[in-house]
Amino acid sequence: MDKPITIGLPRAMLYYRYKTLWHSFFEELGFSVIESAPTSKLTLEEGAALAIDEACLSLKIFLGHVKALIGKCDYILIPRISNFGINHEMCCRFEALYDLTRNVFRESGQKFLTYNADMIQKKSEWAAFMGLGQFFGFTVKAANKAYRTAKKAEQRQQKAEQKKQELLYRSEKIKILIAAHSYVICDAYIGKPVIEFLKGSDVVPIRADVIDPEDGAKAGKELSPTCKWQINREILGSIVQNRDKTDGIILLSAFPCGPDSMVNEIIARRVKDLPILNLVMDGQNGTAGVETRLESFIDIIRFKEGKL
Ligand code: SF4
């Protein structure tokens, strides 16, 4: 039997949103899927060395993950996901990611794989996945079957995560909403240490990114009817849906994120009923500085609630 084609997934950026969809689609079609290891200091250092200084921390981390996969798989998947319609757009970095990465690694000999999802140009996710299937010689019927199976797996995973999070609201402990992109919250080097510190301080972290994307984007209009970025809309929606159930909000961003810097300002001006901590991770912060700020924030909440 021929060795299956191996698809590499960089464990960064949209990996956290689409990992189930991607795994399931390719595995249904008989591919082997590998992922880069969780982010470490080295991942960031290697990515930063490949990026321009102005690139956001998430992009630097992404390039570090791509580097880790070079030569280890047949193709590295880097989709171009532009928008889900007007005013449901992605940060422009996601439009450029495929071309940018291919250019950075142009001398590596590595093959990259992409698809183009751009609803404003009437290019749906479904059509993009059919294109991927056809690229590898599958019929539309086979690609469609794999896509449907993958979408069901994705929905199951989203529902399971939402259900798990619902259980956290029952806790009597202080609950803090972490308003951030999934690839910031879930990243082993920048987001996870914050989550673990909160847990270790007897606080329940609630992830703003665990939300039905459509519901979130609709609810987000209450805080900003004109926000054009889909993921930020979802985060705003999560704040609307969670503000009565949580004791504070941490705005966790990757330096220097354009969309977050604007939307976090909106949140700070429009959410007056909860304490808010703005934490911008630049990859340089040793954990001590971050931990001190988290400790003070938790104390402020405890003091406000008469628990200190
Ligand atoms: S939204 Fe912010 S963190 Fe994400 S890719 Fe764009 S600039 Fe980077």
Find out whether the beta carbon of 264 lies less than 6 Å from any atom of ligand 1: no
For residue 248, give the amino acid letter: G
Asked if the domains at 6-154 and 169-304 fall in one CATH topology, the answer is: yes
Find out whether the beta carbon of 181 lies less than 6 Å from any atom of ligand 1: yes
pLDDT computed for residue 285 by the predictor:
57
CA 56 / ligand 1 centre spacing (Å): 6
pLDDT computed for residue 138 by the predictor:
98
Atom 2 of ligand 1 has which residue's CA nearest to it?
257
Find out whether the beta carbon of 254 lies less than 6 Å from any atom of ligand 1: yes
pLDDT computed for residue 289 by the predictor:
87
Cα R_g (the chain), whole angstroms: 20
Find out whether the beta carbon of 56 lies less than 6 Å from any atom of ligand 1: yes
Q: What is the CATH number of domain 6-154?
A: 3.40.50
Which ligand 1 atom is the nearest neighbour of the CA of 56? 8
pTM: 0.96
Q: Cα–Cα distance between 175 and 164 in angstroms, integer?
A: 15
pLDDT computed for residue 286 by the predictor:
64
Find out whether the beta carbon of 190 lies less than 6 Å from any atom of ligand 1: no
pLDDT computed for residue 60 by the predictor:
97
Tokens at residue 209, please? 């990114």
pLDDT computed for residue 140 by the predictor:
98
Domain ranges of the chain: 6-154, 169-304
Tokens at residue 251, please? 């705005």
Atom 5 of ligand 1 has which residue's CA nearest to it?
93
Find out whether the beta carbon of 51 lies less than 6 Å from any atom of ligand 1: no
Q: What is the DSSP string of the chain?
A: -PPPPEEEE-SSTTHHHHHHHHHHHHHHTT-EEEEPPPP-HHHHHHHHHHS-TTS-HHHHHHHHHHHHHTTTSSEEE--EEEESSTT-BPPTHHHHHHHHHHHHTTTS--EEE--EEEGGGTB-HHHHHHHHHHHTT--HHHHHHHHHHHHHHHHHHHHHHHHHHHHHTT-SSEEEEEES-HHHHS-TTTTHHHHHHHHHTTEEEEETT-S-HHHHHHHGGGT-TT--BHHHHHHHHHHHHHTTT-SEEEEEEETT-HHHHHHHHHHHHH--SS-EEEEEE-S---HHHHHHHHHHHHHHHHHHTT--
Chain mean position to CA 72: 24
CA 256 / ligand 1 centre spacing (Å): 8
For a ligand 1 pocket test, name from 13, 39, 58 the mutation site with the most ligand atoms within 8 angstroms of its C-beta.
Answer: 58
Find out whether the beta carbon of 250 lies less than 6 Å from any atom of ligand 1: no
Find out whether the beta carbon of 91 lies less than 6 Å from any atom of ligand 1: yes
pLDDT computed for residue 305 by the predictor:
86
Kindly give the confidence (pLDDT) of every residue in the chain, 308 residues in length, as a single tens digit, with 9 standing for 90 and above. Answer: 578 999 999 999 999 999 999 999 999 999 999 999 999 999 999 999 999 999 999 999 999 999 999 999 999 999 999 999 998 999 999 999 999 999 999 999 999 999 999 999 999 999 999 999 999 999 999 999 999 999 999 999 999 999 999 999 999 999 999 999 999 999 999 999 999 999 999 999 999 999 999 999 999 999 999 999 999 999 999 999 999 999 999 999 999 999 999 999 999 999 999 999 999 998 875 677 899 999 999 999 999 988 87
For a ligand 1 pocket test, name from 13, 16, 181 the mutation site with the most ligand atoms within 8 angstroms of its C-beta.
Answer: 181
Q: Are 178 and 208 in contact (CB under 8 A)?
A: yes
CA 258 / ligand 1 centre spacing (Å): 7
Whether domain 169-304 has CATH 3.40.50.11900: yes
